[in-house]
A and B are shown apart, each in its own frame.
Chain A
């Protein structure tokens, strides 16, 4: 495989891992006002991701940084075209991060309520907007051969775009609820389990509609029909989605969480494979589309970066996995009583 193709799939993988890791943080932040009935519930919920969310968010920086390094032209055109939604995402992430850190620092109802709102918005908005943005990328973005954007931010909210947004929100809700099933006990856990089952019932039809709508709204399936073996990826994703429910029913929450993680990675790769070799397709003219071949960095940079990524990303995965393992037990009262707990 050529260097550019390797980088194309690495690029997709980094986005997929970002959605898989920060995804359950987004899900929990979105469930937060609905499942968190008391201050105690709320604290358990945010402390369940307390040690992890910061490291998870770095996958976004890495996905962005790798886009910059390996496909600078994509980085330039994508982020300037999607200026407004990206700024909204960044502001939302600012508020989410600060809200986690600051909520518990002053013991006052109004203070906590303010940050509660930001935890919800800072989780729900990025989940929705990433879905809307990627669904629009699947459809193609109106930009010309010079990389000039001719679209309108509101037009991103077209039916297929919104469907993508809904799918992402539901995937993350499912993933987040599965993490809560692992990290909570008692009544809160019962509620989390009940809600995770309800989310699944909505997620399945939305996923099916999205797969069908993609056939009509995008040309993602062209690659699949060319190489039918690729349909396996969709099949695995669907199996993972059903496995999630299977393990939930057996109260095997870790396995359910792994299954929802796999579902998210699979759903991302459904799009990435369909896009190949395009990273940022133009809806104005296929010739304007930015691909792994016409938008990549020089071979030297791609080689150096490949070396860096192949050494350091596995290391990151090892120490993050260790951190997940270290904090795998349900949140305890002792942890909540620590001075710097959220």
Chain B
């Protein structure tokens, strides 16, 4: 077995699993802070019940997010030591700043929030939740800035056989990172809003705890509507930026082989990387890819054939990932819009509520697919144009990685199952009488 391949598999499994929990943590913490503030201001017990119910789901989710995040930081050292040595001067500092500026704050204040009920005023307790929510999102901003450097390395110079920082502000204001932040944070809120609407629909369909869930639904709905649109708009900016900075990724997203003007978007294709063409192509919309990449139907779009073979990403996962993300994203806009027009007649729309319940996994899927496009689409580079993934792994024995990979799969599988079970149990149980 190839240790590089095993390390990639391990990192992919660990990040994708970690990111099942991160978006809900980021988004729902803001919504809970809002709800708790309402409680602190009005003293309305329904808001307290809402805070406790959503808070409990948040905490189960948060615990899994935290424990799976810690291993990630260390995997850069354990499995990607050559990467760490090569770009640590830039990348390492971003992770260190994340821990000292944001993660400390989040972890310390979450403890105060859990154990601080009744020890402080309702307003102070709500303020603590705002700190938790802000710290979590600030933490994500630093991590996305670090990822932005891998996508579009800036502010460095090659010296002493490694990438050394030359311009910290260039790293901070990397256009790629800013787009990622503006895309990922609203998508986390969007996922959280659909989580809340789906679970609310579950109880509303059973006509139980109507006060709590009607109100939760009404808070989440506008969040879903605004965020679904923001995510799509920023996603469009992303497409343009990718066309400019990572032409190979754009070509893989569209399984686009021949360089041409008025490049089409193919609705579905089956790429064959050996033959360098699509064996099946269904529905081709001319000019659309040129428009997507350059906002000009006549622009020339580079095809995969004009990219050296050893600099092409795997086409199929990127192609499918992109489609899945866009289709789901579009669906979420329509679901939010429909909800908005029916917002006063939700109880009379059981069909819609059932759809919402079964839509809970959709944003999760879209987000994971988005990361596949971003990360697999960057291959074979670990830092775009600077360092290849194959040259970045640690010089360690494959068997060590194999054992840890098996460990990750078993442990994360178990934790995932337990986490899902606990969340489902608490959802079914519903809110308890506030006391």
Contact = CB atoms under 8 A, between A and B. Distances in A.
A285 interface: no
A86 B115 CA distance: 31
B114 A50 contact: yes
Contact of A51 (B89, B112, B162): B112
B104 A300 contact: no
Given A62-B99, A101-B60, A319-B108, A73 B165 contact: no
A138 interface: no
A320 B88 contact: no
A80 B81 CA distance: 6
A340 B55 contact: yes
B57 to A, nearest CB: 11
A295 B261 CA distance: 50
Taking residues whose C-beta sits less than 8 angstroms from the other chain, chain B's interface range is 35 or more
Contacts of A298: 89, 159-160, 164-165
B70 interface: yes
A70 to B, nearest CB: 8
A340 B51 CA distance: 12
Contacts of B168: 300, 304
A72 B81 CA distance: 9
Interface in B169-226: none
A64 B88 CA distance: 12
Contacts of A91: 407, 411
Contacts of A313: 100
Nearest to A327: B115
Interface string A76-87: 111110011011
A147 B165 contact: no
A323 B104 CA distance: 12
Contact of B76 (A55, A68, A323, A340): A68
Given A76-B88, A83-B400, A106-B425, A304 B104 contact: no
Contacts of A66: 96, 100
A34 B377 CA distance: 53
A65 B82 contact: no
A76 B63 CA distance: 28
Interface in B94-124: 95-101, 103-105, 107-112, 114-119
A338 B117 contact: yes
A319 B105 contact: yes
Interface stretch (A92-100, A170-178, A258-266): A92-100
A162 interface: no
Nearest to B76: A68
B418 interface: yes
Contacts of A326: 112, 116, 119
A187 interface: no
Interface in A40-75: 47, 50-55, 57-58, 60-62, 64-70, 72-73, 75
Contacts of B285: none
B349 interface: no
Contact of A72 (B67, B78, B88, B432): B88
Interface string B53-73: 001100110011011101101
Contacts, number: 229
A158 interface: no
Contacts of B74: 64, 79, 86, 90
A308 B101 contact: yes
Given A57-B107, A69-B93, A101-B63, A147 B395 contact: yes
B396 interface: yes
Contacts of B162: 72
Given A87-B404, A97-B63, A340-B114, A78 B411 contact: no
A50 B111 contact: yes
A201 interface: no
A68 B165 contact: no
Given A62-B96, A339-B56, A297 B88 contact: yes
Interface in A282-316: 297-298, 300-301, 304-305, 308-309, 312-313, 316
B314 interface: no
Contacts of B70: 57, 60-61, 90, 93-94
B90 interface: yes
B84 A316 contact: no
Contacts of A312: 100-101, 104
A60 B71 CA distance: 11
Contacts of A195: none
B77 interface: yes
Contact of B422 (A57, A95, A102): A102
Contacts of A55: 104, 107-108, 111
Contacts of A230: none
A79 B81 contact: yes
B107 A69 contact: no
A202 interface: no
Contacts of A72: 84-85, 87-89, 92, 162
B228 interface: no
A54 B108 contact: yes
Contacts of B119: 326
Contacts of A78: 77
Contacts of B407: 87, 91
Contacts of A304: 93, 165, 168
Interface string B29-65: 0000000000000000000000010011001100110
24 contacts: A51-B112, A51-B114, A51-B115, A53-B111, A64-B73, A65-B73, A65-B95, A68-B91, A75-B85, A93-B67, A94-B68, A100-B63, A146-B395, A297-B165, A300-B164, A304-B168, A312-B104, A316-B100, A320-B108, A327-B115, A334-B118, A338-B117, A340-B59, A340-B114
Interface of A: 47, 50-55, 57-58, 60-62, 64-70, 72-73, 75-80, 83-84, 86-87, 90-91, 93-95, 97-98, 100-102, 105-106, 146-149, 297-298, 300-301, 304-305, 308-309, 312-313, 316, 319-320, 323, 326-327, 334-335, 338-341
